Amino acid sequence: MSVGIDEISFYTSSYYLDLRTLAEKQQTDPEKYYTGIGQEKMGMAAPDEDIVTMAANAALPIIERVGSEAVDTLLFATETGIDQSKSAGVYVHRLLGMHANCRVVELKQACYSATAALQMACALVARRPESKVLVIASDIARYDLNTPGEATQGCGAVAMLISHNPRILSVSPDVGNYTDDVMDFWRPNYRSTALVDGKYSTKIYLRALKKAWEHFTAVSPLQFNDFSYFCYHLPFSRMAQKAHQHLAKLNHCALTPEQIEQQIADTLLYNQAIGNSYTASIYIGLCSLLDHLEADLSGQQIGFFSYGSGCVAEFFAGQIQPGYREGLHTERHRALLAQRQEINYDEYLSLYRYPDPQQGESVEIPQTTQGRFRLAAITHHKREYIPC
């Protein structure tokens, strides 16, 4: 029995800032962003959008197909949680009308936790093949203004239905793991933006890739040349390019630089348009590959490297299934990106600085999102979500 991803859908914000606009304001060459880090746009959440509304919007087409009674467990992965106690998934559970016997839990380990959720979901389905698990990853990446991280902001959510005999991707049980206690990127409870040592984080990312790969090849019969394409965690697109070149070099790969680039190029396209989405980024990369590559991928092996700062990393494999396009939402994704609204620099600052109650202030939030769900108010310390 195979277990894996039966359906996948992603969502991002209603607004975006073109990095040419940021470069113009900073009086720098736009190619610093377009080529240097491989990013073109970054999603900016509207005042009434957050990780819950994006998650519900990402999962909606899946629930509309299978029905609200079909899912036994909802696993919500995020590193930008909205509450220290209550899972963001419980709000999503209500918004999507899911049944009361569905378990819900939130997972955290920087950008890695969506992969932890995927592996836990596969284990639950392997234990009870009739069950279906909804995995959602949703994040808003924010950094301080006028810092190197500012251009790598973004936001997005991805939803995956995990089942037996999946239509899209059969996930191999063989994994390579690596954990190390490092301080390359972190966000203390008292901060709304992360702290990051960029050069050190890049070094740790590449070291974790090497260690996870070595563990993977020790437990799996698959080798580098068995994979057609690779999906990486995407803090910015250039990071995946560096990582894949590093992995190819470690394996003494005989491919040309162009062939090595071709193994990841299609996975980067959505990320270049929405920016960093933390936990969701690697799986939005999978959406990007499947939505853009015209060739039939049936039967081909995809390598995945998931990285979460601090750090936990994992390399695993998945095989594309015949008929995988039936589980995609390609046209919906294209329409979503086409309908977004570009903002100018002043509008960007307004969204960035939109009041975020820290002391329990009550606020009503105007409707601006184009999505199906919104954050309408915060009253008496309670977040109020409603359908649009």
Which residues are annotated as part of the binding site for (3S)-3-hydroxy-3-methylglutaryl-CoA?
Answer: 29, 143, 242, 276
Q: How many whole angstroms separate alpha carbon 354 and alpha carbon 349?
A: 8
Cβ 154 vs Cβ 42: under 8 Å: yes
Kindly report each contact of residues 344-349 with a partner whose C-beta sits within 8 Å and lies 24 or more positions away, as own/partner: 344/21, 345/17, 345/21, 345/22, 345/24, 345/25, 347/15, 348/17, 348/21, 348/22, 348/44, 349/145
For 262, the token pair is 């071709």
| Helices 19-26 + 345-352 axis angle, to 10 | 100
Annotated binding site: 29, 143, 242, 276
Task: Round the CA-based radius of gyration of the chain to a whole number and report it.
Answer: 20
Q: Who contacts 289 (Cβ-Cβ below 8 Å, separation ≥6)? A: 229, 231, 266, 267, 297, 302
Distance CA 196, CA 205 (A): 13
* Active site residue ranges: 79, 111, 233
C-alpha span between 180 and 197 (Å, rounded): 16
| CB-CB contact of 169 with 302 (8 Å) | yes
Rounded distance, CA 126 to CA 93, Å? 23
Q: Which residues of 184-200 are buried (b: 16+ CB within 10 A; e: fewer)?
A: bbebeeeeeebebeeee
Residues 270, 13, 55, 37, CA torsion sign:
positive
- Are the C-beta atoms of 149 and 352 separated by less than 8 Å? no
